[in-house]
């Protein structure tokens, strides 16, 4: 019963620790997803032929900073604006006022204002480029928010890791406390410290593994429910994220359980018999 109780208590703490790891990794994926969905428009001159525009698009696709491109012709731009405005501007202007453009999505590491300035200079060397449009304020705001959220999550992870260690340590300490007289008896009959420690360490190792597996099952069920509830989260809650979370939970469970057991056993091994009756 002590083994089961300790495993359940450790499981609850490991779920908390697993959630911290999950949120840190999910926040990282979310930041990549947001950055890669920030795009900017390369406005093409009306003098440029469509075949040349498509060649230019292929050139952009070959650039290391480009994740994806989309060519929007003058006709398609007019259709999109007509749908958005509810009226056709070409009807009262007598011509299509919207230029062709290439929408560019960047890789996340290039989605910052400094990189975009350099990219903008490189693209504008082409004389057929009229302008490059992007929301600098939005990009700066996204990067600032991601940085702030990352710092908060890191601080939270450190605090909860400390709390988890303290709670698991307390659980294991109480379990070993009930065996303190048995430990003393083994010392009296000449058992070495390593011999006394071994069964406690093995027991807590398996307790950590069991607690980690139970926590992993609960976390995995939660992730499956989350994806079924909101399928768009597949881009953030990836199999890689869940594998890292599951491995981290089992690793933390085993490591913390064994370390806490080692420290607690040593405490009682060093303790004199007079003290055992007063704690």
Q: Are residues 237 and 266 in the same domain?
A: yes
> Could you tell me if 212 and 242 lie in one domain?
yes
pLDDT at 247: 92
- The span from the CA of 174 to the CA of 182, in Å, is 14
DSSP H helical segments within the chain, as ranges? 2-36, 50-61, 74-85, 89-93, 113-123, 136-177, 180-188, 193-229, 239-270, 273-276
Write the CB contacts of 80 (distance below 8 Å, at least 6 apart in sequence): 72
Same domain, 108 and 93: yes
Residue with tokens 């109480």, as numbered in its chain:
174
Q: What is the pLDDT of residues 27-70, one digit of tens each?
A: 888 878 877 777 788 888 877 888 888 888 888 888 888 888 88
- The CATH code of the domain that includes 107 is 3.30.70.3040
Cα dihedral sign for 62, 66, 69, 74?
negative
Indicate the pLDDT class of residue 82, thresholds 50, 70 and 90.
Answer: confident
Structural contact between residues 261 and 183, judged by C-beta atoms closer than 8 angstroms = no
What would the pLDDT profile of 8-36 be if each residue is shown by its tens digit? 777 888 888 888 888 888 888 887 887 77
Look at residues 178, 183, 176 and name the one whose alpha carbon lies nearest to residue 273.
183
Say which residue the tokens 């996340």 belong to. Answer: 108
Q: Which domain holds residue 130?
A: 39-134
Residue 278 banded pLDDT, cuts 50, 70, 90: low
Exposed, middle or buried by CB within 10 Å (0-12, 13-18, 19+), for 200?
Answer: buried
Q: Are residues 23 and 53 in the same domain?
A: no
Query: Which of residues 134, 159, 183 is at a domain's end?
Result: 134
pLDDT tens column, 155-166: 877 887 787 777
Residues 223, 88: one domain? Answer: no
**Whether residue 231 has pLDDT greater than 80:** yes
The DSSP secondary structure of 69-105, one letter per residue, reads: EEEE-HHHHHHHHHHHHSS-HHHHHSS--PPPEEEEE
Same domain, 28 and 146: yes
Mean pLDDT across the chain: 80
Between 88 and 226, where is the model more confident?
A: 226
Rounded to 5 degrees, φ, ψ at 72 are: -115, 110
Query: What would the pLDDT profile of 86-144 be if each residue is shown by its tens digit?
Result: 777 777 777 777 888 888 888 888 777 777 778 878 877 777 777 787 777 777 777 77
Report phi then psi at 26, rounded to 5.
-65, -40
Q: How many domains does the chain have?
A: 2
Report field, pTM of the whole predicted structure over 0.95: no
Domain identity same for 167 and 250? yes
Domain edge (last residue) among 94, 116, 134 = 134
Residue 69, Cβ neighbours under 10 Å: how many?
Answer: 18
**Do residues 161 and 252 both lie within one domain?**
yes
Helix, coil or strand: residue 133? strand
Residues 182 and 265 in one domain: yes
Domain boundary, last residue among 90, 108, 134: 134
What residues contact 51, with CB distance under 8 A and at least 6 apart?
none
Q: In terms of domains, do 96 and 168 share one?
A: no
CA distance 197 to 204: 11
Asked if 152 and 230 sit in the same domain, the reply is: yes
Structure tokens belonging to residue 56: 């230019």
Give the number of C-alpha atoms closer than 13 A to the C-alpha of residue 118, restricted to the C-beta side.
Answer: 7
Count, residues in the chain? 279
150 and 254 co-located in one domain: yes
């Amino acid at each position: 019963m002590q083994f089961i109780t300790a495993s359940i208590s450790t499981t609850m703490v490991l779920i908390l620790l697993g959630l911290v790891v999950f949120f840190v990794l999910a926040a990282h994926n979310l930041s990549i997803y947001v950055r890669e969905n920030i795009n900017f428009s390369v406005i093409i001159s009306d003098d440029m032929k469509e075949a040349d525009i498509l060649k230019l698009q292929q050139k952009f696709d070959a650039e290391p900073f480009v994740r994806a491109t989309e060519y929007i012709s003058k006709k398609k731009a007019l259709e999109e604006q007509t749908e958005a405005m509810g009226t056709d501007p070409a009807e009262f202007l007598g011509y299509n006022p919207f230029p062709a453009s290439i929408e560019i999505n960047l890789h996340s590491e290039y989605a910052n204002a400094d990189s975009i300035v350099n990219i903008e200079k490189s693209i504008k060397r082409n004389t057929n480029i009229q302008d490059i449009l992007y929301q600098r304020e939005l990009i700066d705001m996204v990067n600032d928010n991601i940085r702030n959220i990352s710092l908060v999550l890191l601080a939270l992870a450190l605090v909860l890791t400390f709390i988890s260690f303290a709670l698991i340590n307390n659980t294991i300490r109480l379990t070993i406390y009930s065996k303190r007289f048995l430990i003393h008896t083994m010392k009296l009959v000449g058992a070495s410290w390593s011999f006394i420690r071994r069964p406690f360490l093995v027991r807590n190792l398996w307790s950590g593994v069991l607690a980690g597996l139970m926590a992993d099952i609960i976390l995995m069920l939660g992730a499956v429910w989350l994806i079924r509830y909101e399928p768009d989260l597949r881009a953030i809650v990836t199999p890689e994220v869940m594998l890292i979370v599951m491995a981290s939970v089992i690793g933390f469970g085993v490591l913390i359980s064994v370390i806490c057991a080692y420290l607690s056993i040593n405490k009682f091994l060093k303790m004199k018999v007079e003290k055992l009756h007063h704690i």
